[in-house]
Structure 1
Amino acid sequence: MGAAAKDARVSLAISEAYVDDGCDGVDTQSPKCPKITISDKLRKLPAKSREGVRAEQALFKAHPGFAGFPKMNGTFSVYRLDILHLFLVNRFGPKRDLTVDDYLYLRKLPAKSREGVLPYVGVLPLGNISLAQQIQQVMDTFQQFIITMGEVAAKSLVSNSIFYILIGSNDYIHYYLLNESKVQSLYLPWSFNQFLGRVAILVLQNLYTANVRNVVVMGLAPLGCAPYYLWLYESENGECVEMINDMIVEFNYAMRYMVEKLNHELEGANIVFCDAFEGSMDIMKNSDRYGFNVTNDACCGLGHYQGWILCISSDMACSNASSHIWWDQCHPTGAVNEILADIIWSGLHVNMCYPMNLQEMKLRCRSNYEALCYIPEIEEF
């Protein structure tokens, strides 16, 4: 690496062609093929440093053959890429410059990419739809029902449907826990939870005004156990970050109370709150029973717990995601979601939905309306 000592600048280009058979088989340099270029500066890590040891462990895990590579005479060293600049070229351009924070999905982003209970919470640099926009789209869809079906039939369809709502996690991941705009100096955790809960209740009231009567509201999962926060808070043996989990428990408690209160205030309302924290913790505490043998490391990512760098390529993924609880930095695997879906539906394994599970709600729909309930979704990713 003598050349690196003279000029440590490097560039790394990643093409979508190598991700899930992207680009429809065209040449990687074709303007039809999106690509991102990362400009970095190489920095040699001390062999005995904590970061150096972790980097070697990650390298040897991905490429076991390197474990026996000779280290004498400087023939083997671990370098860190300090990212200086990134730019993304989408299909046929134009070039878009990204900050490091944009690339790692950790900061506020332009208005077109916001999502969460709060309207200014950023998620993905390629764009998402805010909760307010999703609610407006639902209202627009209701109007289309009236135009195509007639008012009576449309009202019956909406009132007989079950709506599934998952909101709030991005407000923590991309706003409160990052202390954006010094929010933590304005809101203590309990006050922030109350604020988010009140906004969510306003959404439910607006849906009720539009004849929505049956809603499943999902609480938040234990973010303090997510690989990203295990890495960030330097968890020694995979212990969850209690400070974060305490906030999640408080939020879920507040939402459950508010939902229960709303059920009494709104005539005919049938709102269920499902505590994803309870269901997820049961899975983690009984991982062997559920068939998971990797509880702390993400299936796809880099760094300690695979929580440092998010999943940006299928090459980074493990060979058997179903054995992992976590897919990437903050999201569970499909296997976990399937189990949670069973619990939400029937209360299988553990009770996490109040005052009833989804199966019981559907039976109540039949009893009250003599019709099957449909299940559209308003969801946050």
Structure 2
Amino acid sequence: MVNSNIVLLLINFLLIFLSSFTFSDAQLAPAVYILGDSLVDVGNNNYLKDSIVKANFLPHGVDFPGMKPTGRFCNGKNIADFIAERIGLPSPPPYLSLVSRPDKINNATSLLTGGNFASGAAGVLNTTGLALYKELIALPTQVDYFATVSEELKQKLGPSGAKKLFAKSIFVIVTATNDMLYYVASPDPSGKYNTQQQRIDFVLDALKEQLRRLYDYGARKFVVTGVPALGCCPFQRAWDGGECNEVVNSMIVTFNECLEPMLRKLKSEVKNMSYTYCDSYGILQDLIQNAKLHGFDEFKAACCGQGNYRGKLTCFRTSPYCSNRSDHLFWDPFHPTEAAQRILVDNIFDGPSKYTFPLSVKQLIAL
């Protein structure tokens, strides 16, 4: 019988060997770590006992391999999956799926090629959406989770090996959408920030703090998306006679106009940081304005939902849903279909430079 100590030594030797990160040509980066909201949640909310924001039931996932509802707020794969796919990696597992396992000792090994910390309904602020949705994983807590991963990988790979891994990895942050809806659009409960611009600045300062924390834990390459044109989603159209809510869109444009300069400023304050700012607002507007060109016959109504434009109530187990998902821009009242999310990732990965600043995701990886 093989001595268990010898087995452990062999495993540790293999992990140290992997720390050199000589990965295949098809794999552009060693790992991808994803933080954010429901646009990139791949199942973390499934493990939140008190959360009412879940997508672990059909028809969610009706087009996912195996017709499997995984917790993605989509008919199939989402942005997180497609980014990993373009990098040449498996889609990172939901972090909470690992910490809930009995063999937690192997968590670090499972996260060598990335992890997903995103949570549906979460925002940059700890308080965003909490009163309405009871339980979620706000961005600061997601960063806390990554800090735990960072320490575990330092123990597995050594400080130098972990540093090399994180420096070459991609950190994707898709957030602030819920902050726009539940904080910036309304009066500040504390009464501290009276104007909308003050509330926008508060969210941006909070986001900068979390990006700086990720940097301190070893992140160097950031992909940060702007907030999409929420005013044109089926939920807004359902309550605005089928038209886009330009008040909401104007608020988001203001936020996005401040986001990229914040990233630029952060880059000037630290060493060896690089970033890609992704104009998801512009991409979604293009998909709406040129829907037919992109293969979408329906760009106003959701595929799954209820009420006008299937946008007044979200996608439930009993909700009617369309048979032609690839023809729809939106899956439910808030989230794009798999087809639309694939186009978005294609645009930010190596698409036209007007949607990514100062680099495309592919150029960022190549640095």
Q: How does the TM-score come out when normalised to structure 1? A: 0.62
Unaligned runs of 5+ in 1: 1-15, 23-111, 365-381
1:197 and 2:235 aligned: no
Partner of 1:268: 272
User: RMSD across aligned C-alpha pairs, in angstroms?
Assistant: 2.6
Deviation at 1:152, TM superposition (A): 0.7
Over the matched positions of the two proteins, sequence identity in percent amounts to 30
Unaligned runs of 5+ in 2: 1-53, 61-118
Q: Matches of 1:229 and 1:178 in 2, distance apart?
A: 16
Secondary structure of 2:312's counterpart equals: coil
Partner of 1:50: none
Alignment of 1:229-378 (within 5 A): 229-232=236-239, 234-235=240-241, 238-313=242-317, 315-348=319-352, 351-364=354-367
Deviation at 1:352, TM superposition (A): 0.9
Q: Matches of 2:172 and 2:194 in 1, distance apart?
A: 28
Aligned partner of 2:355: which letter?
M
Contact persistence 1:273–1:353 (CA under 8 A): yes
1:143 and 2:147 aligned: no
1:114 to 1:351, Cα distance in 2 relative to 1, 3 A: closer
Q: Matches of 2:205 and 2:186 in 1, distance apart?
A: 22
Q: Matches of 1:319 and 1:159 in 2, distance apart?
A: 44
Aligned partner of 1:358: which letter?
V
Partner of 2:35: none
Decide which of 122, 136, 144 is 1:128's aligned counterpart: 136
1:358 to 1:114, Cα distance in 2 relative to 1, 3 A: closer
Kindly tell me the number of residue pairs found equivalent between the two proteins. 254
Alignment of 1:4-23 (within 5 A): 20=58
Larger relative contact order, structure 1 or 2 (CA cutoff 8 Å, min sep 6): 2
Partner of 2:24: none
**Superposed CA offset, 1:230-280 (max 9, x none):** 122x23xx3211111011111111001111122222221101111110111
1:20 to 1:328, Cα distance in 2 relative to 1, 3 A: closer
Q: How does the TM-score come out when normalised to structure 2? A: 0.64
Contact persistence 1:274–1:353 (CA under 8 A): yes
**Superposed CA offset, 1:76-98 (max 9, x none):** xxxxxxxxxxxxxxxxxxxxxxx
Deviation at 1:227, TM superposition (A): 1.1
1:21 to 1:271, Cα distance in 2 relative to 1, 3 A: closer
Secondary structure of 1:208's counterpart equals: helix
190-199 or 125-134, which moves further after superposition? 125-134
Aligned partner of 2:288: which letter?
M
Going by fraction, where is strand more abundant, 1 or 2?
Answer: 1
Contact persistence 1:220–1:248 (CA under 8 A): yes
Secondary structure of 2:354's counterpart equals: coil
Partner of 1:75: none
Contact persistence 2:228–2:280 (CA under 8 A): yes
Higher Rg of the two aligned structures: 1
